[in-house]
Chain A
Amino acid sequence: MIGIIAMRDLRSLFAQPLAWVVLAVVQGLVAWFFFSGVGRFERLQPQLSRMSDPPGITDITVIPTLDSAAIVLLMIVPILAMRLIAEERRAETIRLMYSAPVSMSEIALGKFFGLAGFLLIVVALTAVMPLSLLLGTSLDLGRLAAGLIGLTLLLAAFGSAGLFFSTLTRSPIVAGVATFGLLLFLWVINFGGVDLGPLQPAIDYLSMLDHYNAFLEGTIGTEHAIYFALVTLGFLTLSVQRLDAHRLQT
């Protein structure tokens, strides 16, 4: 059932220009970051050759590309996710699922995996660029893999947050802005120089950027994976509850 809902969403996404525009925009931007990364590596080449243990092309080109890709997607995912439930409620197509023998968890998970499927395509297309370097040089493939897993987990968290905000309102735009606000806040949450004393560890823990960076360093740390899993599961659970509450509306 989850697969049926997810596939329908994915198909109808590709029937509209939005999916293609998003793919093109993300690909274009990431390509530009990647291109400047390659340029940077070439510029630094003379200095690197004089170092005893120089950073490789993975450090200088690949990792910054993944880093920027995350920021691009931080802005794109809310736009993709905002319509998941809000649009269905506005068009009243959601009644199709409410009247069918389908549970609220199946609806929420179907919607989530539909979006996740699209985001996996984005991750795959992003991965192609660093991998193309294999034609001319060697890469730290382990580190690239860790980075891609991190990006995937990060996008799952983004997507589930977007899904949750989409259940809160009938207006997709409102859901999108709220999602973007929350994600950006979690991204920059410990940027400020202010020390919040005893609260600081909690604030640091909430930072999506820190957990993502841990993956980019090349380690798949359990605690960081758990953080993303918790965020994703948390928002999915809240989404199911919101869907249930729609029937109780007063």
Chain B
Amino acid sequence: MEERSTLIEADGLQRFFGPTQAVQDFSFQLERGEILGFLGVNGAGKTTTMEMLTGNLAPSGGRIELNGCDLLDNPRPAKASVGYLPETLPLYTTMTVDAYLRFCARLNRVPKADLDEAVATAMRRCGLEDVAERVIANLSRGYKQRVGLAQAIVHDPEVLILDEPTKGLDPIQVREIRQLIRELGKSHSVILSSHVLPEVEAICTRVQIIHEGRLVLAEDVSALRARMQHSSLLLGGRALPAPESVQGIQGVERVERLDDGRLRVFHDTQSDTAEQIVARAASEGWGLWELTPERKSLEQVFVDLTGASESEVQDTNEEMAA
């Protein structure tokens, strides 16, 4: 079979739940070797989109092609090329890890002759060899998550769709799972959803921000990073000058004094403001002990992109923190 470069093509996806529109006019493509992040707050439409891509939910409108096969007209080969990890892990908790993965492989039409190898490979990649004979119900949350991932990759699909793969894990487990996803990204194309920006930044090559069912931004992670590039500096020092005198430095737009005596300097992104500040601090003896570039937060990016009101962003903010 020829190697296709475009693995997912979604065109004008729509989804209504009663009168509410959960997803509107959503189009995108996924190329081989990409790790694409769906970023958005809870309820933005990430899960709905993923359920449509995996055939769990029929779209109200639009078209989905997976690995060149239309999901509606030709569901069998289309679904065979996708592995899905839903947000709620689809685990039969009374089965052992080995029996469960065997069942998942058979369900995805792995030929009987290749079964042992497929299951062994999935277990090795997800670090499950030691628990192969344990009953899933008795595993820790982190291991259950790995079993969920193993289930998604056991038939070696072209595309992996992972809904909040690090949800509910502790920081060490999060790091392990991210490492694993990055590893899988080398041989598969991956879509993952998240409501935390650092996660998407850490794993993905491309990001799509979804807000209220609409695609508001689709670009490379490096471009997103640039967009969020620092536009302010925090200064701390033993003898900082008055804000007005810092104002004079080239590129500085505004200076405010914080309660603890530090200064926050807003500047444009063209000039090398930091460099000039350091030069001034050295020549005028400010006794500088802190110079921190501040990044735009995700909620600021949201405001820029969606023009949402401040109070909405406040809610968003709380959700992100949660």
Contact = CB atoms under 8 A, between A and B. Distances in A.
B258 interface: no
A96 interface: yes
Interface in A156-175: none
A15 B17 contact: no
Interface string B82-106: 1110101011101100010001101
Given A4-B107, A97-B107, A250 B95 contact: no
A246 B201 CA distance: 35
B108 A12 contact: no
B92 A93 contact: yes
Contacts, number: 71
Nearest to A3: B106
Contact of A95 (B77, B78, B86, B109): B86
Among B77, B91, B106: residue with most chain A CB under 10 A: B106
Interface of B: 16-18, 54-58, 75-80, 82-84, 86, 88, 90-92, 94-95, 99, 103-104, 106-109, 151
14 contacts: A8-B92, A12-B94, A91-B90, A92-B86, A92-B90, A93-B91, A94-B90, A98-B55, A99-B56, A99-B82, A100-B80, A101-B109, A102-B107, A249-B57
A247 B58 contact: yes
Contacts of B91: 93
Given A101-B109, A247-B56, A93 B75 contact: no
Contacts of B75: 101, 103
Contacts of A91: 88, 90
B88 A92 contact: yes
A91 B92 CA distance: 9
A248 interface: yes
Contacts of B16: 250
A250 B18 contact: yes
A16 interface: yes
Contacts of A16: 94
A interface, size bucket = 20 to 34
Contacts of A94: 90
Contacts of B106: 4
Interface string A235-250: 0000000000001111
B84 A99 contact: yes
B94 A95 contact: no
Given A98-B56, A100-B108, A101-B75, 14 more contacts: A4-B107, A11-B99, A92-B86, A96-B151, A99-B79, A99-B82, A99-B83, A100-B80, A100-B107, A100-B109, A247-B55, A247-B56, A247-B57, A250-B17
A103 B109 CA distance: 12
Interface of A: 1, 4-5, 8, 11-12, 15-16, 91-103, 247-250
B108 A101 contact: yes
A98 B86 CA distance: 11
Contacts of A12: 92, 94-95
Contacts of B107: 1, 4-5, 96-97, 100, 102
B273 to A, nearest CB: 51
Nearest to A245: B58
Contacts of B104: 96, 100
A99 B78 CA distance: 10
A39 B17 CA distance: 63
A95 B56 contact: yes
A100 B79 contact: yes
B108 to A, nearest CB: 5
B61 to A, nearest CB: 13
Nearest to A100: B107
B227 to A, nearest CB: 34
Contacts of B76: 101, 103
Given A15-B95, A95-B84, A96-B90, A101 B79 contact: yes
B55 A4 contact: no
Contacts of B55: 98-99, 247
Nearest to B95: A12
A16 B104 CA distance: 20
A102 B95 CA distance: 21
A248 B15 CA distance: 10
A8 B58 CA distance: 27
Contacts of B80: 100-101
Nearest to B86: A95
B56 A15 contact: no
B56 A8 contact: no
A191 B147 CA distance: 54
Nearest to A92: B88
A92 B91 CA distance: 8
